[in-house]
Structure 1
Amino acid sequence: MRPLILLAASILGLLSCELESAAGTESSFRIATFSADITVPIGHRSMGIIPKKTDRLLDPLYAHGLVLLSDALPVVIVALDYCEVRNGAYQEWRQALATAAGTTVPRVLVCSLHQHDAPVVDTQAEEFLSSVGLGGEMCDVEFHRATVTRVAQALQDSLETAVTVTHFGIGQAKVEKIASTRRVVRSDGRVNYDRGSNSGSNPIYQEAAEGDIDPWLKTLSFWNGDEAVVALSSYAVHPMSYYGRGEISADFVGMARDRRQRDDFSVKQIYVSGCSGDVTAGKYNDGSPSNRPVLADRLYQGMRRAWEETVRVPLKQFEFRHTPLELEFHEGEEFTEQAMLQVLRDPAADISERILAAMGLSSLSRIQAGHTIDFPCLDFGEAQVLLFPGEAFVGYQLLAQKIGHSSFVQCIGYGECWPGYIPTRAAFEEEFGHGWRWVAPGAEARIQAVLEDLLLPE
């Protein structure tokens, strides 16, 4: 590791990178894939705070995952059709799946896709809400734990049918007319981050440039000789066309994934959202239900083209690395423990504000207890997979690709989601503000140090 990087990481208290390699003949590697229905019951609240609770099922929510088996401990990747999983709930997912796979917790990569017509799960926040008579308002803890058990069983069952893999594949393609940055410069020079997911009906947001996005959809695949086994696709965009109307839905990303699966049922399709805290479909989406299949088709076409561009590489070894990331809690006075408790306990406060206060208290308590965020990297040489926390801005994905410039770097967003939005330094300087941000300024330097540690090992 370069001396300056080592010094920066040491100063920030981040350098604790653990590494384990797996090597052997091509037949030493196997992959198991699994799925399970994780649809919440009718009456469950979506996105944690949406006022209208669900009253109908539009399409089911799923967990899709894979287990990479070798002469080292297994590595698990699981993608949930949930808005977010945070704090204690995130730990419960990882622990149960680690036990089922026979591995350690750091080697379990759990992410949410972040659809808004899906739940936010935070068991500690629910404890705070229960303490003021609001238990069950954010999420159904009993259902959550039953779901974790069911998915863990699906994982464990899948190990019996693991398939030999000899190659991995890398492919990418540009996606047309989906992503656009939230950041818009108005005619008077003012900057705002208000281009939301369905703001395309506003001419200002429709006509503004796409801005800083990552247009590339990436697909990492695993093969047994000439036969594909599983494809892991990622794209950086908020996965919403419309939401908040009482439906349960995996939205357009679920539609695209399901259509791609129907192309060939022998190849397991897993989709994950990239770093897309500041990327939405707002320029190209007016929020009408008729536009959802349009966005789904554009994403599907990107997945199909990335598959056509796939190049296979012999799978002979890989390294798993992870390092702890410490992020500081929100700096605002309204995010102090006392201020959040006051909102939580105020019966006159809006229910969404009380839920947000409980979420903040849950995150603050985790930090005070010394819990850090695991930041993992799965390195195949020609390709790396990274799991980012929260709603990391796309700038972090672009930064990771710059640091790993000679490789195919696939970035997954929405791992441990307690930070909410994780703006870049530039966005903080432009006073990015949102009630879904629990992290303080200074995150970029810390994340960059971790990325350099993971992508530029000794």
Structure 2
Amino acid sequence: MNRIWLYVFLIPGFCSLLSVTGWGGDYHLASFQAEVTAPIGHALMGGGIAPASEVVDPLYCKGVVLLGSDKPFVVASIDWCEIRNAAYDRWREVLAAAAGTDRERVFFSCIHQHDTPVADLEAQRLLDQAGLEQSLCDVSFHEDCVQRVSGALKASLKNPMVVTHYGIGQANVDQVASNRRVLLPGGKVGFPRNSATLDPEVRAADVGTIDPHLKTLSFWNGEKPVAGLSFYAVHPMSYYGKGGVSYDFVGMAREKLQRERPEVFQMYFSGCSGDVTAGKFNDGSPENRPILADRIYDAMKKSWDATKTYPIESLDFRCVDL
């Protein structure tokens, strides 16, 4: 029997994971998406950079609902920088209610592009008390997005697709990720390799420790793919801080593949990459954004080409307190 473990997210306080040993009986997948673009004037990166002054790209929340176990579970990613504390709980509670499941069965991840919103409801309440209204996030806009995505999830449940197989593929990503840590002249260790790096000595240093692979988990109805979830570990920014709302190069790659394969629902997730950026291969020029996007896109296509499928026979879910 084939068995894979998909470690979806590590969250302080608990670890949630999914074991697929195959599914027996009728199992279905419903896909949903809704636009969650920051309005003009909204804080980006929690107010740490210039607020939104133009929309370069629409932002999306995209997800799937897997149906057929004792309760559904939801896997979603959003083109936002961060969702923290009570805001994170709010998303999971509302999406769980829409799917008819428990909050623990909602896996929800921010892709972490910087020219996008940060949501922290309690922090914003404290800022309100200091006269700094909407300096971190617009609470009304946040709730509107929660309800918009919840509505899209509910609507998707009317037309779920049969799934009979899952697929696993991976491919190397060429010239995107590099470790922040650099051995500087004189033997000093530093962390100067940010998302955009101009210093030629810093850029010339070795790539360092990274995970070079982009992985794709896919779901199939027989020989027909219906959804693909791609995972790669890199800070997903080429340049930011100028007020241009954008899903950046990883979003560009995702949407390019979506346009080419409209019958397959495409999602992207950022892996653990606090110390991993594109700095070795990126000087922050606007012209470099589509170059990085094409490199991610190429890896996505190669990962699909390398995919092997397996019949789905059962679904197990565990949520363990840490």
- Aligned-residue offset at 1:263: 1.4
Q: For each residue in 1:370-409, what CA deviation from the matched residue of structure 2 results, as whole angstroms up to 9, or x when unmatched? A: xxxxxxxxxxxxxxxxxxxxxxxxxxxxxxxxxxxxxxxx
Aligned position for 1:123: 121
Within-5 A mapping of 1:417-428: none
Question: Is the Cα–Cα contact under 8 Å of residues 28 and 71 in structure 1 kept in the other structure?
Answer: no
Secondary structure at 1:28 match in 2: coil
State the distance in 2 between where 1:259 and 1:76 align: 24
- Aligned-residue offset at 1:44: 0.6
Question: Is the Cα–Cα contact under 8 Å of residues 20 and 312 in structure 2 kept in the other structure?
Answer: no
Q: Which runs of 5+ in 1 are unaligned?
A: 1-13, 326-458
Q: Which structure: greater helix fraction?
A: 1
Secondary structure at 1:188 match in 2: helix
In structure 2, the CA distance between the partners of 1:144 and 1:277, relative to structure 1 (3 Å rule), is same
Give the structure-2-normalised TM-score: 0.93
Aligned position for 1:42: 40
State the distance in 2 between where 1:96 and 1:236 align: 28
Aligned position for 2:63: 65
State the distance in 1 between where 2:143 and 2:75 align: 19
In structure 2, the CA distance between the partners of 1:21 and 1:242, relative to structure 1 (3 Å rule), is closer
- Aligned-residue offset at 1:20: 9.3
- Aligned-residue offset at 1:173: 0.2
Q: For each residue in 1:256-315, what CA deviation from the matched residue of structure 2 results, as whole angstroms up to 9, or x when unmatched? A: 001011111000000111111000000000000000000000000000000000000111
Aligned position for 1:283: 280
Are 1:241 and 2:228 matched, yes or no?
A: no
Aligned position for 1:293: 290
Aligned position for 2:300: 303
- Aligned-residue offset at 1:206: 1.1
Within-5 A mapping of 1:404-443: none
Question: Is the Cα–Cα contact under 8 Å of residues 27 and 165 in structure 1 kept in the other structure?
Answer: no
Within-5 A mapping of 1:7-46: 26-46=24-44
Q: What residue identity is the alignment partner of 1:173?
A: A
Question: Is the Cα–Cα contact under 8 Å of residues 22 and 72 in structure 1 kept in the other structure?
Answer: no
Secondary structure at 2:158 match in 1: helix
State the distance in 2 between where 1:179 and 1:295 align: 10
- Aligned-residue offset at 1:21: 8.1
Question: Is the Cα–Cα contact under 8 Å of residues 26 and 314 in structure 1 kept in the other structure?
Answer: no
The equivalent position to 1:189 in structure 2, one of 187, 197, 219, is 187
State the distance in 1 between where 2:56 and 2:245 align: 6
State the distance in 2 between where 1:24 and 1:217 align: 23
Aligned residue pair count: 311
Are 1:224 and 2:221 matched, yes or no?
A: yes
Give the structure-1-normalised TM-score: 0.66
State the distance in 1 between where 2:56 and 2:187 align: 42
Q: What residue identity is the alignment partner of 1:224?
A: N
Aligned position for 2:203: 206
Greater relative CO (CA pairs within 8 A, separation 6+)? 2
State the distance in 2 between where 1:80 and 1:263 align: 21
In structure 2, the CA distance between the partners of 1:22 and 1:114, relative to structure 1 (3 Å rule), is closer
State the distance in 1 between where 2:242 and 2:118 align: 16
Secondary structure at 2:185 match in 1: coil
Within-5 A mapping of 1:253-332: 253-325=250-322
Aligned position for 2:91: 93
- Aligned-residue offset at 1:26: 3.9
- Which is higher, the Rg of structure 1 or of structure 2? 1
State the distance in 2 between where 1:250 and 1:111 align: 14
In structure 2, the CA distance between the partners of 1:300 and 1:16, relative to structure 1 (3 Å rule), is closer
State the distance in 1 between where 2:17 and 2:209 align: 33
Secondary structure at 2:45 match in 1: coil
In structure 2, the CA distance between the partners of 1:264 and 1:55, relative to structure 1 (3 Å rule), is same
Q: What residue identity is the alignment partner of 1:180?
A: S
Question: Is the Cα–Cα contact under 8 Å of residues 233 and 272 in structure 1 kept in the other structure?
Answer: yes
Identical pairs, percent: 50
In structure 2, the CA distance between the partners of 1:322 and 1:52, relative to structure 1 (3 Å rule), is same
- Aligned-residue offset at 1:45: 1.1
Q: Which runs of 5+ in 2 are unaligned?
A: 1-11
Runs of 4+ residues deviating >4 angstroms: 14-25
Aligned position for 2:8: none
- Aligned-residue offset at 1:324: 2.8
Aligned position for 2:105: 107
CA RMSD of aligned residues (A): 1.9
- Aligned-residue offset at 1:53: 1.3
Aligned position for 2:152: 154
